[in-house]
Amino acid sequence: MEKKGLLFVVSAPSGAGKTSLCRGVVEELPNVHYSVSYTTRPPRPDEVDGKDYCFVDEATFRERIDKNDFLEWAEVHGNLYGTSREALMSRTEKGVDVILDVDSQGAMTLKKKCADGVYVYILPPSFEALRQRLTDRRSDSEAEIARRLQKAREEIWNYRQYYYLIVNENYKDALRDLTAIVLAERIKAKRVNLSWLEETFIKQLNKGA
């Protein structure tokens, strides 16, 4: 099996539900791995180190930057976030697809480096819905929520940089859409391994089977 895994990069305004959707796809489909980001942001009460993020202090994060371990990293709302090159590559080299959620800065950096990746943007059904979700989460201060909403205002216009757009009106339909993207991308003709096709089919034709 020489086929390399695909990279799915999912971005969204904070609160649009990208993390739940990525995790949902991993539960739905075999052979997809959810890649956890590194961050210097303090964990929220319900977050688990290594599952939600790899939580590290700023010194450790900067060490990794110096070692060139991050495929992308960015400062968002005063915290550092990064995608480990090693964690990602070790999966795709084995033919496992990797899905990761990153902020829009990170997605655009990855897009320059990994042109063959699949870039997906999740939109909330309305701005009011976004505000509601951030408020309901009860994990961020009012100032933090205001910052996140302001960032949404700025980045939303960038949506045409992505290949797919999902409006997260309800989780079930949005998950069906994200799952469909993974399935459809896997069977794009340009990705199909000719040697596989020859082995399973074309050789038989030539033998006059």
Q: At what angle do helices 142-155 and 127-137 cross, to 10 degrees?
A: 150
| 176 in contact with a second copy (CB under 8 A) | yes
Helix (H, G, I), strand (E, B) or coil at 193: coil
Q: Does 195 bind a second copy (CB under 8 A)?
A: no
Q: Which residues contact 7 (CB under 8 A, 6 or more apart)?
A: 88, 92, 97, 98, 100, 110, 114, 116, 117, 118
Contact 122, 166 (CB under 8 A): yes
Q: Is 117 in the site for a second copy (CB under 8 A)?
A: no
Query: Residues 33, 166, 168, 175: which binds a second copy (CB under 8 A)?
Result: 166
Is position 48 an interface residue for a second copy (rule: CB under 8 A)?
Answer: no
Out of 162, 168, 170, 172, the residue judged to bind a second copy by CB under 8 A: 162
Rounded Cα distance between 206 and 209, Å, is 7
Q: Is 127 in the site for a second copy (CB under 8 A)?
A: yes
Q: Which amino acid is at 158?
A: N
Output the CA angle 141-143-144, nearest 5 degrees: 65
Q: Which is nearer to a second copy, 6 or 152 (CB)?
A: 152
178 close to 10: Cβ distance less than 8 angstroms: yes
State how far the Cα of 167 lies from the Cα of 40, in Å rounded to an integer: 29
* Part in contact with a second copy (CB under 8 A); list of ranges 41-49, 58-66, 104-112, 184-192: 184-192
Closer to a second copy by Cβ: residue 79 or 196: 196
**Least CB distance from residue 179 to a second copy, whole Å?**
7
Q: Is 160 in the site for a second copy (CB under 8 A)?
A: yes
CA–CA distance, 28 with 124 (Å, rounded to integer): 22
Q: C-beta of 198: minimal distance to a second copy in Å? A: 11
Given the rule CB under 8 A, which residues bind a second copy? 121, 123-128, 131, 152-153, 156-157, 159-160, 162-167, 176-177, 179-181, 183-185, 187-190, 192, 197, 200-202, 204-205, 209
